[in-house]
């Protein structure tokens, strides 16, 4: 399932996938895979992404429907 | 005498490569991220399966048809197994963006790989008329031109996979 909240949070910060990848010390393709829903990140990477985007885990990764 | 010299030369080249590769690892911050490590683990698994399946298929072939058709010498068999499994590992890694490390830009590397592939295949084609694949008592023996062809296939497949992946990524936007 696509993570549109991550995509919109990134866009709101005016960051490209490349920029966010550099902030989290991962490859651009990894950020792309998370946004597409092709890869489930570890909690460590989730926290790094949340810190980079000033969001909480609930804001970006908690899914009520599951 | 010649083979001893070749072996010594190989050892020296290997030692020099190791000597230069260790400090490079130390002073660059290239690393694989968590997704890439998982992908490379899967690539390793598929490469192992490929090797096992190839050896199993060859074993059955040798058992039933070994005395009727051509078989492979031990070195050709090993080289073919390595070629297949390395190709699977590299193609899977490259296709899933897990070949290059984080922050590493790869177009130059893959152009170089393409060039190496062209050189190897070019030399193989140029020598094709003079090339004979020695078959002794129905067993295909290892030759230099065979190794050039195999190297060309490995480097070529990696390079082609990378550029196809780039084109498909651009088309997806």
- Interface confidence, given as ipTM, is 0.88
Which DSSP helix (H) or strand (E) runs through B140? strand B139-140
A41 contacts B33? CB cut-off 8 A: no
> Residue B72: phi, psi to the nearest 5?
-100, 145
The domain spans of chain B are 1-30, 34-172
Nearest to B173, CA basis, from A25, A32, A23? A32
Query: Could you count the other beta carbons within 10 Å of the beta carbon of residue A33?
Result: 20
Give the integer Cα–Cα distance in Å for B84 and B75.
Answer: 14
pLDDT digits (tens, 9 = 90+) for B56-87: 999 999 899 877 888 888 888 998 999 999 99
- Give A41's contacts in chain B (Cβ within 8 Å): 34-35
DSSP E strand boundaries for A15-66: none
Domains present along chain A, CATH in parentheses: 4-55 (1.10.260.40)
More confident: B42 or B102: B42
Interface residue of A7, A16, A23, A30 to substitute, partner B, most B CBs within 10 Å: A30
- Give A44's contacts in chain B (Cβ within 8 Å): 34
Residue B93 has pLDDT above 90, yes or no: yes
């Amino acid at each position: 399932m696509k993570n549109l909240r991550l995509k919109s949070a990134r866009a709101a910060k005016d960051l490209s996938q490349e920029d966010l990848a550099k902030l989290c010390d991962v490859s651009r393709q990894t950020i792309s895979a998370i946004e597409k829903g092709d890869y489930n990140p570890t909690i460590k990477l989730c926290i790094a992404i949340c810190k980079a985007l000033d969001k909480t885990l609930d804001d970006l990764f908690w899914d009520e429907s599951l | 005498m010649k083979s001893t010299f070749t072996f010594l030369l190989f050892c020296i080249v290997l030692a020099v490569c190791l000597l230069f590769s260790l400090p490079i690892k130390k002073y660059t911050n290239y690393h694989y991220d968590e997704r890439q490590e998982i992908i490379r683990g899967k690539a390793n698994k598929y490469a192992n399966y490929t090797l096992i399946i190839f050896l199993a298929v060859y074993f059955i072939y040798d058992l039933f048809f070994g005395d009727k058709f051509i078989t492979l010498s031990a070195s050709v068999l090993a080289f073919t197994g390595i070629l297949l499994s390395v190709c699977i590992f590299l193609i899977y890694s490259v296709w899933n963006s897990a070949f290059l490390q984080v922050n590493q830009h790869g177009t130059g590397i893959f152009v170089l790989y393409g060039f190496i592939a062209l050189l190897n295949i070019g030399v193989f084609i140029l020598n094709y008329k003079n090339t004979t694949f020695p078959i002794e008592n129905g067993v295909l023996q290892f030759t230099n031109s065979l190794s050039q062809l195999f190297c060309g296939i490995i480097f070529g497949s990696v390079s082609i996979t990378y550029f196809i992946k780039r084109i498909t990524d651009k088309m997806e936007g």
